[in-house]
Structure 1
């Protein structure tokens, strides 16, 4: 890294800061009804999600306890502090065991968050849908490392500032949840009569009740069918057969047995009674050619509205056009989706001159004297969600509500004047709600950006003061690296190969490296030399530093020779004391 750092700081890799243990690859056969919880990514992002459990016995490396740092490196890329029960760790998550002689645990957690933000904007981020960062680039990523005491000061300051911001974000998120509840209450009030209650009380006369309107719509429906049949007979040159009108397909009648009482002047009707046409969308393969006709898919229905982002297209010459073109006021019903999302509904308001829709959507065209928004309100309300839950059929992980069942749905019908009032009033209140929701969202973004700025200040050395008496991080890092190297040497050491193991065991640190080498007539490996010196996994940092200091001194004085151990094909050095012949 060429970027300058404050005095006393140094660059270190994430790998330097501790041990990063990937979770266990649990199989479905490992799951049981009881036992230890398994921490999956969804348990980190949403603590309300249920656990899987297992009776499998695993090493302690995979066990997680309160306040362990966990890093999700696939799908959701983030750092978490575990506050749940003792559990086992699933794959795609690192458990972090900090090297607390080098790095403060809280400082490391914030540093890892900053590192992931940086890695998200590099070539090390892989995958289009399942985004992930490979272990190698992650551990090799460099972080600015202050002196240990300064790390503690930085972590304390971040905690203090984040606490205030997090409280603000929490309050704003609570307000957002209240607005979401208000959205639902607004939908309910629009279709149960509450929203227009005061308006009805001001109306002295009603020219046409909901019941009268329904009768007129049904009369026109039959007349329209009869005209179409007569046209068919004429085109075929035939006279209408006897009793042909009796073949009229009567629309589905409302089943009002378990339905609530409606306000005076309202009446229950079925979608089928109010519908002119229902049609499934196209199953043709779409493309990204924006010169074609936009095709709305189920993902384009969001929160009761149509989102025109991420559109797909069909050619203008597609053989299902113009029959599958949408018209202003058409209702789109999502017939197949997950159990939670099936039944999403929105109204197409003619935003595009020509627009079509995909096969998982049903288009419903209503009689011109019924405002289709009211049907959308009902389906998206708590009433509609209860109905969907009752009639949806689960199929291979997805739920389905077909056109037949949609036709049977009962919705309230009121006179046209009240329809207009409800839609107008609903839009006013909804727009105000949306403005508040957007404003709250922007405020959350601002507070989140403040947190990012705090982290930026923290890792550039401007958040807290520097103390010149703090031990420089570079010195600390070198000491830790030396300790690691010594531990690796002693771990690889094989005492059985030494000719005089007992004598060397007694040497301990009572002999210098020079004295040990003087007793050797041949080359000795670095591991064996460290062991002979008395180093082991429990050696102190001071002993390790002494070992390397003596090696450096002998090398600078040109008293030793070093060569790679090619004969045994090992990644280690062989060391030997120079004699007079070698020195010459």
Structure 2
């Protein structure tokens, strides 16, 4: 599919149930594979992450100094990297090299391998979270973000299933991807940002629509409970009023009604 066809059919794809995440994935995939490029992708340079950034692993802070009363410094664990605040603070001693600042790129190394920009205040980098530091002048951090998530997804898909999947700093450093010229990177990132913003708006509209439909479905259930007629029954199964089967259970007759 060409970029023109993609843009033309974007809204059709986006209104399908559960399609927003798939759209975001497709946008990232097309961005790093040249789908949004106006230049010759044959000139893109193949580079390794280790040649572009420093990969810093988090520190194994002692859990005996963990607390939930906000004493000391916020501590970034994997569950926190997409948030603005941490659940746990650390009240022990630490080295300044492990202080994360707003905007730093972080990668969760267990479970789902995701990259996020830190949104919160200064905090400490805990073990099993790594940070990408000192980007090479050849790379735009926005393009690095896109390329990393695409390849992290690929590693996750190809990792043998265990209770929890793991990735190492060595694996992250070894990731290779095609790097366009800096100006082209910036243009691609701007295009992706616009599309992701569109996805966000469509997702908000979907959530609003789903909320309205759920309210209508509850109203239809209430009408049927008060006045069980063929007409109110038909309203329960209207295509626009998706009903959770569990919501029907209170309306079901007791089991004793079916016994002799």
Q: Judge same fold: TM > 0.5, yes or no.
A: yes
State whether structure 2 residue 180 is matched by structure 1 residue 414. yes
- What is the distance in 1 between the residues matched to 2:180 and 2:212? 45
Aligned partner (choices 307, 311, 314) of residue 83 of structure 2: 307
Distance across 2 between alignment mates of 1:417 and 1:362: 28
More helix by share: 2
Partners of 2:55 and 2:167 lie apart in 1 by 17
3-state DSSP class of the match of 1:398? coil
Give the drift of 1:464: 5.6
> CA RMSD for the aligned pairs?
3.2
Pick from 448, 453, 473 the counterpart of residue 214 of structure 2: 448
Unmatched runs of 5 consecutive residues or more in structure 2: 1-11, 231-252
Report the CA distance between 1:292 and its aligned residue.
4.3
Larger Rg: 1
Deviations 1:485-522 (A, max 9, x none): xxxxxxxxxxxxxxxxxxxxxxxxxxxxxxxxxxxxxx
The TM-score, its normalising length taken from structure 1, stands at: 0.34
Structural mapping, 1:202-351, within 5 Å: 263-285=41-63, 286-290=66-70, 292-301=72-81, 306-308=82-84, 311-315=86-90, 317-337=91-111, 341=112, 343-348=113-118, 351=119
The higher relative CO (CA closer than 8 Å, separation ≥ 6) is in 2
Match in the other structure for 2:37: 196
Q: Give the 3 Å change call, closer, same or farther, for CA 279–416 of structure 1 in structure 2.
A: same
Name 1:124's counterpart in structure 2.
none
CA gap 1:355/1:457 in 2 versus in 1, 3 angstroms:
farther
Q: Give the whole-Å Cα distance in 2 for the aligned partners of 1:457 and 1:291.
A: 53
Question: CA separation of 1:333/1:190 partners in 2, compared to 1, >3 Å: closer, same or farther?
Answer: same
Report the alpha carbon displacement of residue 336 of structure 1 after superposing the two structures with TM.
1.6
The structure with more strand, counted as a fraction of residues: 1
> How far is 1:266 from its partner?
1.6
Structure 1 Cα separation of the partners of residues 126 and 215 of structure 2: 39
Runs of 4+ in 1 over 4 A off after TM superposition: 171-174, 462-465
1:268-323 alpha-carbon deviations (Å, 9 max, x no partner): 1111111234222444433322454333332345xxxx2336x31324x5322432
Gapped regions of structure 1 (runs ≥ 5): 1-170, 201-261, 466-476, 485-537, 539-584
Number of residues paired by the alignment? 221
- CA contact under 8 A between 2:57 and 2:127: conserved in structure 1? no
Match of 1:354 in 2: 122
Normalising by the residue count of structure 2, what TM-score does the alignment of the two structures yield?
0.71
CA deviations 1:311-365 (Å, max 9, x no partner) are 31324x532243221134432122122xxx2x222222xx323123332211121
What secondary structure is seen at the aligned counterpart in 1 of 2:46? strand
Q: What is the rounded CA distance, in whole Å, between the counterparts of 1:393 and 1:284 in structure 2?
A: 30
User: Aligned in 2, Cα 1:324/1:456: closer, same or farther, shift over 3 Å?
Assistant: farther
